Structure 1
Amino acid sequence: MQTSFTNEQLADPEIARANKILRACVHCGFCTATCPSYQVLGDELDSPRGRIYLIKEMLETGRPADARTAKHIDRCLGCLACMTTCPSGVDYMHLIDHARAHVERTYKRPVFERFLRFVLAKTVPYPRRFRLAMRGARLAKPFAWAFPDARLQAMLAMAPAHLPKASKNDRAQTFAPIGPRRYRVALQTGCAQKALDTDINDATIRLLRRLGCEVVIPKKLGCCGALSHHMGREAESHAQAAANIRAYLAAGDLDAIIINTSGCGTTVKDYGVIFEGDALQPQAEKVAGLAKDITEFLQAIGLPDAAPKGLRVAYHSACSLQHGQQIKTAPKELLQQAGFDVVEPLDPHLCCGSAGTYNLLQPEISAELKRRKVDTLEATAPQVIAAGNIGCLVQIGSGTQVPVVHTVELLDWALGGPKPRALAALP
């Protein structure tokens, strides 16, 4: 793609990076075939290629973003399926990140929309606040029909019927390995995950300990910055990321940083790019290099023999895992090794519609993507659905009666841990 940035513009490292990304695009349109929002809406401007044109125009002119551009940028899930498909290697992830930040800085959204985004940014990354918000939403849920805005209704619908108590395991502490120590790892405990499903971290800690890991929950560990980052709120996301980088480095020597929320993992692994040119870049790169998805780490160290459970498991590959981190086979192979019958739905590359806060800010598109994903998963006749990201678990779980659990819960069970609570009704 031809660009026409001035030399003065190109002196800005962010514009220079955007220019390089834009020029890699050859307009082939392969991305439209795998873009979920384009498949639902059928609008060229809601495809990666269309958004690239809008971003190019917005950045070249240097003008503030307008309502039209903001609408189509906001409709992007950030699923990154286009990057997996693109034959030219267009780095769409960093381009859309830059575009979101530019929109957030320069476009004045309607008052109510600004309010919603502010509430989400100040609530979801903070487990205590999020837990209180979920309790309030649960009380208001029966009256959702009275709320005229679909986004508010979606927020109320997210409130679970049961909210688990906070787990003591999520507090800063160190868990000794069971048997000789083989590795020393830190665990990213997540934000929304700690409020919505405490079983995931509990299962992760149990499994890692049995495999000879000393598991550290670092002091002052907070949100990785992913949610604010994808809303274009750069200052907040960078502050959260910087705090986490310091927390990890203060935890001492680590063999790995284990992440069981793949949306967080994609962001943490990108810390080196996020802090490029910053004084914190060396430390950010070190943390990024240590970050491992739980399934990535487990495959690397190997699993012992498991007790087969004979369950048919439909595996949903979270976009942040398969596209963002290019981890596609490890979770399925581990589940198969643990004795599960693993099946995959049709079009496994397509997003379920969760995508961070997307299901709250774009509820109509998200609902259609959820319906399609649930249909393909249920078509495999599974006894259980597994995924590696809390957003996907909540999104898919709200559309099916099939039990939905994290991959690590099944692995923990197969290797001596307790049966996941979501599977209590199964024999």
Structure 2
Amino acid sequence: MQTNFSLAQLADAETAESEAVLRKCVHCGFCTATCPTYVLLGDELDSPRGRIYLIKDMLEGGKPATETVVRHVDRCLSCLSCMSTCPSGVHYMHLVDHARHHIEKTWRRPLADRLQRRLLAAILPYPGRFRWALRAAGLGRAVRPLLPARLRAMLELAPTKVHAPTRQERPGVFPAQGKRRLRVALLGGCVQPVLDPAINEATIRLLTRLGAEVVIPEGQGCCGGLTHHMGAREPDFAPANVRAWTKELAAGGLDAIVVTASGCGTTVKDYGFMLREDPELAEPAARVSALARDVTELVAELGLPPSTLPRRLRVAYHSACSLQHGQQVREVPRRLLREAGFEVLEVPEGHLCCGSAGTYNILQPDLAGQLRARKVRNIESIRPEVIAAGNIGCLTQISHGTAIPAVHTVELLDWATGGPVPAALAGLDGTVPA
């Protein structure tokens, strides 16, 4: 694609990167077939190619965002399916992130939209605040029919049970069982430990069983992905994590930084790019990104012991977009589930997003609901006994559309190698959770 940025514009590192991304696009349109919003709406401007044209025009002219650009960019899930499809290697993620930052700088959103986005940014990245918000949601349910659609969507996704803080949220060390093979840091996350602390508990049990010493470093927190993908210039999350992990590297060494929420993993693996202009943190951030691993990647490196499953359960593996497209981790989770003794079923249209996408199911509830319904139909068509996924957002989204139990992949791997039965699977084979 031909571009016409001025030299002054190209002096800005973010603009120069976007110009390089735009030049790789050859207008082929392969991305349209795998874009969830184009599949639903059939509008060229709701495809990656259409959004690329809108973003190019906005950035190239140095123009403020317009209502048209904002509408179509807001509808993008950042599922990155287009990046898996693109034969030219267009790095759409960096381009759409730049566009969102530009929108937030130049476009004044309606008051209700601004307030909701600020509320999400002020609550979701902080587990303590998030717990209080979920408790308050119980009061909101009483007046749910009177609330705006977006607030109703927030209440719909809020669980009725709020988990108390667990040991896994505090800094500490979980020693390896037997001879130590690796020393790893575990990113606890912000939303996940509140919604489902069992995921990190299963991760620690599994990794220590396989010979890894697991560290919860002091000073780490939210990965920053939620606010970053809303266009906010968050100055604290990524730098704080890089400093926390760099300190741990110096103190005791780390063989990997393990992430159990694939959306967070995609962000952490991009820290090297995000902080490339920071004179203090550019090199440490690049090192952190190189050490980041999805939990299934690390388990595959360590190897699984023989399965102790009572029988082969039929598992529909939902490949989270942030894992299969963002991190290009596709076959490893499936292979591990098979090795653990599960029958892995392929979900039709597995490349399409479930509609979770960070805060998308709150900010775009109608489109998210359509995508969830489509995903659930495809899952139910293969008649699984359980659904597995590697991202808390996907698990929450899908669980609200089906009665089939949905659990994190690591919970199944932990169970199959000596851990307790996941709570959601109580009753299968007459088992009960420990």
- TM bin (shorter chain): over 0.9
Aligned partner of 1:318 in structure 2 is 320
1:206 aligns with 2:231: no
1:134 aligns with 2:134: yes
1:248 aligns with 2:245: yes
Which whole-Å CA distance do the structure 2 matches of 1:286 and 1:43 have between them?
41
**1:181-219 superposed Cα distances (whole Å, 9 cap, x missing partner):** 111000001110011000000000000111111100000
Aligned partner of 2:87 in structure 1 is 87
Q: Does structure 2 conserve the Cα–Cα contact (< 8 Å) formed by 1:141 and 1:159?
A: no
Q: Does structure 2 conserve the Cα–Cα contact (< 8 Å) formed by 1:272 and 1:282?
A: yes
1:232 aligns with 2:231: yes
SS in 1 for 2:185: strand
Residues 146-165 of structure 1: pairs in structure 2 closer than 5 A:
146-147=146-147, 149-165=148-164
Aligned partner of 1:27 in structure 2 is 27
| CA positional deviation for 1:165 | 2.1
| CA positional deviation for 1:138 | 2.5
The residue identity in structure 2 corresponding to 1:245 is V
Which whole-Å CA distance do the structure 2 matches of 1:285 and 1:219 have between them?
20
Aligned partner of 1:356 in structure 2 is 358
Which whole-Å CA distance do the structure 1 matches of 2:347 and 2:209 have between them?
32
Consecutive unaligned residues of structure 1, counting only runs of 5 or more, are none
SS in 2 for 1:303: coil
Which whole-Å CA distance do the structure 1 matches of 2:221 and 2:169 have between them?
11
Q: Does structure 1 conserve the Cα–Cα contact (< 8 Å) formed by 2:181 and 2:212?
A: yes
1:343 aligns with 2:314: no
Q: Name whichever of 117-126 and 64-73 sits farther off.
A: 64-73
Which whole-Å CA distance do the structure 1 matches of 2:90 and 2:329 have between them?
19
The residue identity in structure 1 corresponding to 2:256 is A
The residue identity in structure 1 corresponding to 2:89 is G
| CA positional deviation for 1:322 | 0.1
Paired residues in the alignment total 424
**1:328-378 superposed Cα distances (whole Å, 9 cap, x missing partner):** 000000000000011011010000000000000000000000000011011
Query: Normalized against structure 2, the TM-score is what?
Result: 0.96
SS in 2 for 1:220: coil
Which whole-Å CA distance do the structure 1 matches of 2:345 and 2:81 have between them?
21
Q: Does structure 2 conserve the Cα–Cα contact (< 8 Å) formed by 1:138 and 1:160?
A: no
**1:362-401 superposed Cα distances (whole Å, 9 cap, x missing partner):** 0000000000001101111000000000000000000000
Q: Does structure 1 conserve the Cα–Cα contact (< 8 Å) formed by 2:168 and 2:188?
A: no
Aligned partner of 1:416 in structure 2 is 418
Which whole-Å CA distance do the structure 1 matches of 2:270 and 2:297 have between them?
16
Q: Name whichever of 343-352 and 133-142 sits farther off.
A: 133-142
Which whole-Å CA distance do the structure 2 matches of 1:169 and 1:270 have between them?
25
The residue identity in structure 1 corresponding to 2:44 is E
| CA positional deviation for 1:134 | 1.0
Residues 1-12 of structure 1: pairs in structure 2 closer than 5 A:
1-12=1-12
**1:397-425 superposed Cα distances (whole Å, 9 cap, x missing partner):** 00000000000000000000000000002
Aligned partner of 1:185 in structure 2 is 184
SS in 2 for 1:330: helix
The residue identity in structure 1 corresponding to 2:293 is K
Which whole-Å CA distance do the structure 1 matches of 2:378 and 2:111 have between them?
38
Q: Name whichever of 33-42 and 260-269 sits farther off.
A: 33-42
Q: Does structure 2 conserve the Cα–Cα contact (< 8 Å) formed by 1:170 and 1:201?
A: no
| CA positional deviation for 1:171 | 0.9
Aligned partner of 1:404 in structure 2 is 406
Aligned partner of 1:390 in structure 2 is 392
Which whole-Å CA distance do the structure 1 matches of 2:142 and 2:355 have between them?
24
Q: Does structure 2 conserve the Cα–Cα contact (< 8 Å) formed by 1:172 and 1:217?
A: yes
**1:130-159 superposed Cα distances (whole Å, 9 cap, x missing partner):** 111111113322421111x21110001111
Query: Normalized against structure 1, the TM-score is what?
Result: 0.98
After TM superposition, which residue ranges in structure 1, 4 or more long, deviate above 3 angstroms?
Answer: none
Q: Cα RMSD over matched residues?
A: 0.9
